Structure 1
Amino acid sequence: MINTHIEKSLGEINWNTLKQGRTYYPSPIAWEDEVLYFLFVDRFSNGKEFGGFNDIDGNPVQKSALRTTPLFNLQNDAWKADRETWFNAGKTWCGGHIKGIEDKLGYLKRMGITALWLNPIFEQLPQSGSYHGYGTFNFLNIDPRYGSREDLKELVEAAHDKGIRIILDIILNHAGDIFAYKGGDRYYYYQGQVWPVEGYRKDGGGYLDMASSHESEWPTSAVWPIEFQDQKIWTRKGEIRSWDAFPEYIEGDFCELKEIEHGSAIKDPAMAWDLKKRIDSFQGAPGFNYLCDIYKFWIGYADIDGYRIDTVKHMEPGAVRIFANVIHEYAQSLGKENFYLIGEVTGGRSNAFNIINYTGLDAALGINDIPDKLENLAKGKRSPGNPETLDQEGYFDLFRNSLQDDKNTHQWYAKHVVTMFDDHDQVGVDHKYRFCGDSMESYQLLRPALGLNLTSIGIPCLYYGTEQGFNGADQRKDDKNFSDVFLRECMFGGNFGSLQSTGKHFFNETHEIFAFIQRVCAIRGKKENIALRRGRQFLRQVSHTGVDFFYPQPINNELKWVVAWSRIFSEQEFVCGINTDPNKDISVWITIDSAIHEGNTALTCLYSTDAGQIGRQMPIHAKNGLAVHIKVPRAGFFILK
């Protein structure tokens, strides 16, 4: 029998019954072995697709009375929708749901995905257009537009059965726009002033007094669970305007989203840098303790494997530290010894490293300029780095054992940094676009970018639709409102399909990019290829002539050349490389480790975008110590072992 009861209060949770008789799915031994995939539930699948993909058992999915959405065809379907109508459709709910994700587990498994990261799925205000999920109204329920709590539990069970873990995106910093300030006006942060409020928003219009609780308004008005109806839960200090001013960015509302009072700590701007003193001085408030219980509940209820924590910059580090301890301990009590907490930590790499070290979070997502440097290296617009200098201008510089970062081992980066390029926000960019959205040439360079992401150091994460060449882009000149909509096309088509299409889905398992990811993930995931997942990383010198070796650098802000790197683990070396020139093949010599390969005669090509090279032996020559010679196809990628 399905339990449809939703607790109105945290006091209704029976913690013993929650886990009674259950065996929980264990954590992975090492998260750097995983391949993450981030999706928007509303934009992924509605379960009506047919053709182009197989079900979870590998059987072709055929047209039926319930499956009426055919596969997208580039020649017939692209750019057919009226752009303004299409764009407006993307500004609100489109109809994807949790059952649709479960329907596509076979597609994801065959691609090589081992962990799904879902956008926040908790209930939004009934009248809200927050399809993205970042404005929570009921922390103990799933938004009915996504499905039910039972749907989530069934998705997790089905995913675990296929060896796929589930990570939920959660928000500790704020809730939705659940109350209004006096007169319904916008109030802004000013020197910590607490502003007068009108009341909780009432479904259908009007306000509810915040000085008392409103159990009779269940389930459509105020905020839930009922403990959150105490007005002391909210800072009530107005919207942030100075996003780097301390303590404004800690205490203020995140735009219209209402800030939760986590507790007291040092507020002196001169002490903002001192994380240790801020942590030592932190005293938790009731609202923060409620949040800890809420997210313990979801682990116990649905067997969740990890959380991605939104807007960590806007939380006191003392709160983050306590939350990490509480969640890790609870997960360990269920047998999840390596429950993963990934923080969205903005504010620069140094700040991110310190937050991870001081708070006990497990990883940081896309630290600072990682996405930018990864994307633009693959596009030939950035330096890959230069180990001969102390500068950290290139992608590979970011992961060096730099004393600047106080990190003295590659293991820190491998375990604690999630790497990706396409994403749902692109913070700091006014007119947003996916990797393939800025030019026709970018699609050609998508495989080098993916190869770089999947085989360089860190935990790789793919953004939904990248495997189908999604190219959403804001082409407007002046207006930047709703620019992030262009990053969030529907995989299932609907009224907001990618490539300005409607009514056609994109689950194409024969797509060349899907096939590329599938092949690289298969190689990466083999037990004996552990170096591709956990190995030390070295940018390699290359040479066109075999005489002069160098670390390739841009000329006139352009790098159309081969970038190669090694992953080394326990006396085993893999050599990977990309060609950032989309128009010509390039033959180069690549330096390899002399000590490891002393006495060896060749490396084997495990993969190349030139299929004729796969399986070939690449002779080792005495050049620059030792080197191999390889012809890298235009916009190509290779792996040698």
Structure 2
Amino acid sequence: MRKTLLTFILFIIAVTTNAAGMIDKIEPSFWYVGMKNPELQLMIYGENIASSDVSVRYPGVYLNSIVKLESPNYLLVYLTLDKDAKAGKVELTFTQGKKKNIQYYELKERSMKGCERIGFDASDVLYMLMPDRFSNGNPGNDNDKTLSPSSANRNDPNARHGGDLTGIQNHLDYFNDLGITALWFTPVLENSMTGGSYHGYATTNYYKVDPRLGTNDEYKDLIEKAHGKKLKIVMDMIFNHCGSEHPWLKDMPSRDWFNFPDYEKNFVQTNFKLTPHVDPYASDYDFKTMNDGWFVRSMPDLNQRNPHVLRYLIQNSFWWIEYAGIDGIRMDTYPYADFNAMSQWMKELNEEYPNYNVVGESWVTEPAYTAYWQKDSKLAAPRNSNLKTVMDFSFYDKMSQAKKEESNEDGKGLNRIYNNFVYDFLYPNPLSVMAFLENHDTDRFLEDGNDIAGLKQAVTLLLTTRRIPQLYYGTEIMMNGRKNVSDGNVRKDFPGGWKDDAQNAFTKEGRTDLQNEAFNFISKILHWRKDNAVISEGTMKHFLTQNGIYVYARCFEGKTALVILNGTSKEQNLPIKSYKEVIKEKTTGKDIISEQTVDLTNDLTLSPRQSMIIEL
């Protein structure tokens, strides 16, 4: 007995010793049973791991294939999971000659079925924020010598400032007070970049939250607490590119893992012209430069046409849905990635999570271009993007121009907005288009000013039209800035997010009178539109501007909200009889902004830039 035990111990020691250094990590580190797609890709990292043979032992789990890439330091193992496979630990044996390495790979139960996960829609308002610039709840994670840059510096507008997930969690009540229903963070995954990447768009680890923001567990905990306060969380992802400090670029798994892999000798940058996707006369050269060129040198372009790259990315998105419970995805630089690959991702995601939602960034200001990218668009037929929600850059562009103009001038001001909505016939589903006034890549709506009347009117329009609205953090306290100063100038720290801040705009007492006026105005409309089917589901009928006044009605099941916007800097008269078809027999209504009863039997007089939302 003693001899047998000694032999077993020596065997374990030998296996452990011989296998040392063979495997650095496996991605994903665990998976879930009960997924519709039975295939599971495991990406194994380790020195000379490709020389290993692999065997699998677990009921209902089978070895499908082993893929050895050009680099010897990666191995792809494809498993098939029966639909009846149970949660537990799968025994994976990696053999190199006489050396063995046994890994126990965990399969977990899902917390809910895919059909039970509900995404964001037109009943929601997304509040977009940059975690590094919002609030520093844990100064202890500001500096990390294992990452680059290793320290925060608030004196540099383009450096890390120290905001984190704890800071966001500390202000969940603020979001409830404001009245938004969903939070969209810029990417939270590790961005360990020599040149710095406080914004998060240069991923260096797809399965790890950046330690300077928090941990995976802290991210998951934040989401659970947000759900407890009826707030959804939308995760920002990037399939088009990763960061140049990602291990994949330092040791390419294969030559076709990236587009234009000879970047050191022949760097090809995208031309940033997205029109070749739809241009019937586009050259192959222009299309390839746009689609395969790198965004910048620090963001190498991933090749989604490589099926192994695509499978890795698809699994990663599913993993974060299952692990962290995210309620939606915002996909960065959507048209820069391969159309067919992204369509395949969305098809699989829609099948696994039929009630989920993804919004794709497609920065072209023509409605026809944006409509091309929406699911079931006839403009793209016979292809189908399968992407439910697209971003309305046309609305953003028209609002940027209209705010400086008088709407009683032909084609100017709110006439631009009217014309923007005229093209809604191009969209398969206008209610699933996301509209916004500003974001982290644009000038602030207020630019360098403080035009509260213009801001109120723009927000009224944003929150009542037939769209999914998105606000940018600080809009409610009139944060301003221009990009021509620096990107950091439109990504300023939220005042009060750091202990030594002179102002705390998270509280009524800490805000100025003007900031409170803006906050209260926006909050009133946000709370009014919550669970308001007239806005989230209603039809829309709009009228040509009269005297520079834009009027439209949202109607649902006998209820009507009449929106009236004076798009001029002068007092204007509104001939009420022109709107009889939506007012019908009603003689009064209540303006939810002023909380006053409105007489609808006589013409209305509107003050400069006045906005009204009249419930009929």
TM (normalized to structure 2)? 0.70
Which residue among 37, 40, 59 is the counterpart of 2:130?
40
Q: Which residue of 1 aligns with 2:361?
A: 344
Which letter does structure 2 place at the counterpart of 1:370?
F
Which letter does structure 2 place at the counterpart of 1:240?
Q
Quote the sequence identity (%): 25
Distance apart, 1:381 and its partner CA: 5.2
Give the Cα separation in 1 of the matches to 2:481 and 2:28.
Answer: 45
Which letter does structure 2 place at the counterpart of 1:588?
L
Q: Does the CA-based 8 Å contact 1:166-1:304 persist in structure 2?
A: yes
> Deviation string for 1:385-436 (max 9, x for gaps)?
98xxxxx971122222666x3x4x7xx2112x1001121112xxxxxx3122
Note if 1:573 corresponds to 2:560.
yes
Q: Which residue of 1 aligns with 2:243?
A: 176
Note if 1:420 corresponds to 2:436.
yes
- Taking structure 1 as reference, are residues 326 and 523 closer, same or farther at Cα in structure 2, changes over 3 Å only? same
Note if 1:258 corresponds to 2:258.
no
Q: Which residue of 1 aligns with 2:550?
A: 563
What is the SS of the residue equivalent to 2:196? coil
- Taking structure 1 as reference, are residues 303 and 87 closer, same or farther at Cα in structure 2, changes over 3 Å only? closer
Q: Which residue of 2 aligns with 1:139?
A: 206
Q: Which residue of 2 aligns with 1:219?
A: none
What is the SS of the residue equivalent to 1:292? helix
Distance apart, 1:141 and its partner CA: 0.2
Which letter does structure 1 place at the counterpart of 2:327?
D
Give the Cα separation in 2 of the matches to 1:435 and 1:243.
Answer: 23
Q: Which residue of 1 aligns with 2:315?
A: 293
Which letter does structure 1 place at the counterpart of 2:600?
P
Distance apart, 1:376 and its partner CA: 3.3
Give the Cα separation in 1 of the matches to 2:111 and 2:574.
Answer: 56
Q: Which residue of 1 aligns with 2:503?
A: 504
Correspondence list, 1:464-613, <5 A: 464-473=473-482, 480=484, 483-492=486-495, 503-509=502-508, 511-527=516-532, 530-541=533-544, 551-552=546-547, 561-581=548-568, 584-590=570-576, 593-595=579-581, 597-598=583-584, 600-608=585-593, 611=594
Distance apart, 1:507 and its partner CA: 1.4
Distance apart, 1:473 and its partner CA: 2.7
Q: Does the CA-based 8 Å contact 2:563-2:612 persist in structure 1?
A: yes
Q: Which moved more, 1:143-152 or 1:355-364?
A: 355-364
Q: Does the CA-based 8 Å contact 2:28-2:207 persist in structure 1?
A: no
> Deviation string for 1:583-622 (max 9, x for gaps)?
x543422456545544x241312323xx3xx2414233xx
Distance apart, 1:539 and its partner CA: 2.7
Q: Does the CA-based 8 Å contact 1:447-1:637 persist in structure 2?
A: yes
Q: Does the CA-based 8 Å contact 2:391-2:434 persist in structure 1?
A: yes
Give the Cα separation in 1 of the matches to 2:496 and 2:501.
Answer: 5
> Deviation string for 1:156-179 (max 9, x for gaps)?
111111111000110000001237
> Deviation string for 1:85-116 (max 9, x for gaps)?
x9952111001101111111111012111011
Correspondence list, 1:449-468, <5 A: 449-468=458-477
Distance apart, 1:7 and its partner CA: 9.2
Give the Cα separation in 2 of the matches to 1:246 and 1:309.
Answer: 21
Q: Which residue of 2 aligns with 1:624?
A: none
Note if 1:435 corresponds to 2:464.
no
Which residue among 264, 272, 281 is the counterpart of 1:243?
272
Give the Cα separation in 2 of the matches to 1:320 and 1:393.
Answer: 36
Q: Does the CA-based 8 Å contact 1:578-1:638 persist in structure 2?
A: yes
Q: Does the CA-based 8 Å contact 1:603-1:640 persist in structure 2?
A: no
Distance apart, 1:370 and its partner CA: 1.4
Give the Cα separation in 2 of the matches to 1:635 and 1:537.
Answer: 22
Which letter does structure 2 place at the counterpart of 1:343?
G
Give the Cα separation in 2 of the matches to 1:362 and 1:104.
Answer: 30
- Taking structure 1 as reference, are residues 126 and 259 closer, same or farther at Cα in structure 2, changes over 3 Å only? closer
Which residue among 429, 451, 454 is the counterpart of 1:445?
454
What is the SS of the residue equivalent to 2:166? helix
Give the Cα separation in 1 of the matches to 2:136 and 2:471.
Answer: 21
The structure number with the bigger radius of gyration is 2
Distance apart, 1:27 and its partner CA: 4.7
What is the SS of the residue equivalent to 1:157? helix
What is the SS of the residue equivalent to 2:128? strand
Which letter does structure 1 place at the counterpart of 2:136?
N
Structure with the greater relative contact order (CA < 8 A, sep ≥ 6): 1 or 2?
1
Distance apart, 1:534 and its partner CA: 2.5
TM (normalized to structure 1)? 0.68
Give the Cα separation in 2 of the matches to 1:141 and 1:577.
Answer: 48
Give the Cα separation in 1 of the matches to 2:404 and 2:336.
Answer: 33
Which letter does structure 1 place at the counterpart of 2:551?
A
Q: Does the CA-based 8 Å contact 2:193-2:243 persist in structure 1?
A: no
Q: Which residue of 2 aligns with 1:619?
A: 600
Which letter does structure 1 place at the counterpart of 2:313?
L
Give the Cα separation in 2 of the matches to 1:400 and 1:19.
Answer: 49
Distance apart, 1:362 and its partner CA: 1.1
Give the Cα separation in 1 of the matches to 2:409 and 2:317.
Answer: 40
What is the SS of the residue equivalent to 2:482? coil
Give the Cα separation in 1 of the matches to 2:475 and 2:235.
Answer: 20
Give the Cα separation in 1 of the matches to 2:227 and 2:400.
Answer: 32
Q: Which residue of 2 aligns with 1:276?
A: none
Give the Cα separation in 2 of the matches to 1:326 and 1:178.
Answer: 30
Give the Cα separation in 1 of the matches to 2:119 and 2:313.
Answer: 28
Q: Which residue of 1 aligns with 2:147?
A: none
Q: Does the CA-based 8 Å contact 1:178-1:258 persist in structure 2?
A: no
Give the Cα separation in 1 of the matches to 2:222 and 2:235.
Answer: 12
Q: How many residues align?
A: 475
What is the SS of the residue equivalent to 2:122? helix
Q: Does the CA-based 8 Å contact 1:385-1:396 persist in structure 2?
A: no
Unaligned 5+ runs, structure 2: 1-22, 34-86, 88-106, 140-152, 274-285, 378-383
- Taking structure 1 as reference, are residues 525 and 102 closer, same or farther at Cα in structure 2, changes over 3 Å only? same
Correspondence list, 1:266-305, <5 A: 284-305=306-327
Q: Does the CA-based 8 Å contact 1:468-1:513 persist in structure 2?
A: yes
Give the Cα separation in 2 of the matches to 1:483 and 1:591.
Answer: 49
- Taking structure 1 as reference, are residues 19 and 307 closer, same or farther at Cα in structure 2, changes over 3 Å only? farther
Give the Cα separation in 2 of the matches to 1:532 and 1:354.
Answer: 25
Correspondence list, 1:144-155, <5 A: 144-155=211-222
Give the Cα separation in 1 of the matches to 2:304 and 2:486.
Answer: 31
Q: Which residue of 1 aligns with 2:607?
A: 633
Q: Which residue of 1 aligns with 2:101?
A: none
What is the SS of the residue equivalent to 1:144? coil
Give the Cα separation in 2 of the matches to 1:377 and 1:601.
Answer: 32
Distance apart, 1:483 and its partner CA: 2.3
Q: Which residue of 1 aligns with 2:77?
A: none
Give the Cα separation in 2 of the matches to 1:384 and 1:605.
Answer: 30
- Taking structure 1 as reference, are residues 385 and 607 closer, same or farther at Cα in structure 2, changes over 3 Å only? farther
Correspondence list, 1:149-168, <5 A: 149-168=216-235
Give the Cα separation in 1 of the matches to 2:138 and 2:605.
Answer: 44
- Taking structure 1 as reference, are residues 632 and 28 closer, same or farther at Cα in structure 2, changes over 3 Å only? farther
Which letter does structure 1 place at the counterpart of 2:332?
D
Q: Does the CA-based 8 Å contact 2:138-2:164 persist in structure 1?
A: no
Q: Which residue of 2 aligns with 1:116?
A: 183
Distance apart, 1:9 and its partner CA: 2.3
What is the SS of the residue equivalent to 2:169? helix
Q: Does the CA-based 8 Å contact 2:346-2:387 persist in structure 1?
A: yes
Note if 1:365 corresponds to 2:350.
no
More strand by share: 2
Give the Cα separation in 1 of the matches to 2:138 and 2:398.
Answer: 38
> Deviation string for 1:178-197 (max 9, x for gaps)?
37xxxxxxxxxxxxxxxxxx
Which letter does structure 2 place at the counterpart of 1:618?
D
Give the Cα separation in 2 of the matches to 1:639 and 1:7.
Answer: 60
Q: Does the CA-based 8 Å contact 1:120-1:134 persist in structure 2?
A: yes
Q: Does the CA-based 8 Å contact 1:377-1:383 persist in structure 2?
A: no
Q: Which residue of 2 aligns with 1:80?
A: none
